[in-house]
Structure 1
Amino acid sequence: MGLLEDARNIQRKDPAARTVLEVILLYPGFHILVYHRVAHWLFEHKHFFLARWVSQRGRHKTGIEIHPGAKIGKCLFIDHGMGIVFGETAEIGDNCTIYHGVTLGGTGKDTGKRHPTLGNNVLIGAGTKVLGPVYIGDNARIGAGSVVLKNLPANCTAVGVPAEVVRINNKAVNPADDLDQQDLPDVMAQRLLDLDRRIGQLEKAAQGDIPPTAQQVAARQRKSLRT
């Protein structure tokens, strides 16, 4: 019943999926869930070699690599899926959506719990890398191409390299931001613009081209009155 509900969930979420049968027969995002169920059962029962063999067969067939030790909740929607990697200690909550090219990986420095944990209803955009034992809160949305290296709170939208929170509880962190999944701000570009503006101000100050502030004018007037 669990796999059937997973297939129905994919059919509900993907406008290109016309029937549940189409999902079951043709969707690699569903096929890898079948492989992972078998591999994870073998892993939990300490048949480690067989578990890895099944997971590698799934990788060969779908282009999606999920370590048999990873824990996946109900109704995971893997859209397209090619190039996805989930590490051994990754944990994914219920009703999550993950696009192609996503990595839930380690940093190479951690031991034990070394991969991310996702809460429920998390959406991760294409090409995103979530690295280390970080926690992504419920209902979080991560924009495509981001790199997440620290915990993210629930109900937030994050974007950038490294990822920064730009919206929480559907309210923009910066009032100028008006976000949705298709129109995310370019955090790096904004930083470069701010840096360029600051350099320009410093250059003008060095050349004496910036007009005095009101405080500077008042101080000069007081000085002239005293003299």
Structure 2
Amino acid sequence: MPAEQIHLVRHGEVFNPQGVLYGRLPGYGLSDLGRQMAQAAADELVRVGRPVSTLIASPLQRTQQSAEPMTAAFGFAPTLDERVIEPENRFEGKRMTGRGGALGDARNWRFLVNPWEPSWGEPFGSIATRMLAAVDDAWQAADGGDVVVVSHQLPIWMVHRRLAGLSLAHDPRRRRCALSSITTLERRGDRFVEVDYRDPASGLAAQATDVGAV
């Protein structure tokens, strides 16, 4: 029996005192606030009484840590899926703005020629395709109940835009995918549709100093 709903959960705040774009770099785990955010997401799924039967996470440290409160709540560890990982980015390890920032270095400008693809990393279309393939596989493999996928802002936002029939090119400042937010999908006929968006960590967001990669 396929899954009832698929919940795409973004990870919590990352400890990033240098303010770099961390992307897929190792060693970037949750801050103390990020752990509170992850707990808020797990608490929300428990509160609404969803019958979670499957937990999937990106292989990165911050997503695995964000899945820990869900493991405690539902009783099983996540399966790791490379397809829900953060996209590659040529600016990993660099600060984007301010003194010495990557955007002020003329050697980096060649990576900025096409923000609609984008030219600095994995194409938006590739991100959407791999994410939806992972979602479809998880939906089919589930033995009923709900699937939770702990992923990252851009991959989740690409799913939203693809399902909404919108251009994948967008302004990163306008993404509706807050830290530890929950974007919920259902299968209707031969396609997935987005049915809900919740921001259970909104009360913590004002304290956040790192809001993720662009």
TM-score by length of 1: 0.23
TM-score by length of 2: 0.24
Higher relative contact order by CA 8 Å / sep ≥ 6: 1 or 2? 2
